[in-house]
Amino acid sequence: MKQTKLIMSMPITLQINHDQDLLLHQTFQRVFRYFQDIDEKFSPYKPTSQISRFNQNPVQHKPSKQLKEILQTCYDYERKTNGYFQINYNGIIDPSGLVKSYAIDKAYSIIREHYDDFYLEVGGDIVVSKPVNSVQSWTIGVRNPFELNQIVKTIVLQNGAVATSGNYVKKNHIFNPLNGQVVVNPVSLTVIGQSIIDADVMATAAFAMGPDGVNWLEKLNGLEAYMIESDQQATMTSCFEEYVK
């Protein structure tokens, strides 16, 4: 069964390979409701969200346990990425860069309670699962940043996460927090990892580093990357091809 819904101003697609029954339908409902709930709580565009109220008055609106967990994770990644991942913009705290992958990670756990053959895709970021000893894999295309209806690479993955950062879709503006400039090169950076939070945040940070980002990712354990530059040349980390069809 496969469903797509528009939540958090993004299309969210869940496919679970299983016979349709009550539990399956309930799981789809739980997952989509979870994203709606996260959107209500943490959208910076909703004045009633926890994050908006926290920014209005952090003393009066003490962060909830969940917001504390998100903010703590953000600060951990700020350290790990030498400041290339940041949630503090001109005194406003905006953890949107983490909230999406945080929600995917939690949704993954919800689905894994009952199923092991599924994928979840949220605005281009993906988690996949296949049963242990399965001979099948999920095939994931890397979108061509110059021709959005094309793909330029096919990743084959049984269990894990894939995230892509890019400025090529209208309204995306990833900038380098250390100099405040919008990143013009690379144009697309795809990261494969075990955890979607790791893959997504590290992709964002490495993207902000510019073309050197892929060299930084090469030094990190458990992450492989495919970077596309404005001259249509791609650079990949040394084990990336193990995941390519």
Partner 1 sequence: MKKNIVSVLIVIIVLGYGLLARRYYQNNKLKFTVPKNNSVKNKQTKLVISQKTQSVFQNGSFIGQSANAYWGNVQVEAIIQANHLSGLNILQYPNSHSASVYINQQVLPILKKEAIQKQSSKVQIISGATFTSEAFIQSLASALKKAQ
What mask of x and - would describe binding to partner 1 in positions 190 to 219, judged by CB under 8 A?
A: x-----------------------xx--xx
Nearest-angstrom CA–CA distance, 90 and 87: 10
* Residue with smaller CB distance to partner 1, 78 or 121: 121
**Tokens 């009066």 — which residue?**
60
Task: State the Cα–Cα distance between residues 38 and 32, nearest whole angstrom.
Answer: 10
**Would you state the torsion angle of the CA atoms of residues 59, 64, 66, 69, taken in this order, to the nearest 10 degrees?**
40
By C-alpha distance, which of 187, 189, 190 is closest to 157? 190
Q: Of 4 and 56, which has the nearer Cβ to partner 1?
A: 4
Q: Is residue 166 near partner 1 by the rule CB under 8 A?
A: yes
Helix (H, G, I), strand (E, B), or coil: what is residue 177? coil
Does 144 participate in binding partner 1 (rule CB under 8 A)? Answer: yes
Where does this chain touch partner 1 (CB under 8 A) — which range of 11-19, 69-77, 85-93, 103-111?
Answer: 11-19
Is residue 129 at the binding interface for partner 1, with CB under 8 A as the rule? no
Q: Give the Cα separation of 162 and 155 in Å (integer).
A: 9
Stretch that binds partner 1, among 3-11, 52-60, 78-86, 178-186 (CB under 8 A): 3-11
Least distance between partner 1 and beta carbon 36 (Å): 14
What is the smallest separation between the CB atom of 71 and partner 1, expressed in angstroms?
Answer: 21
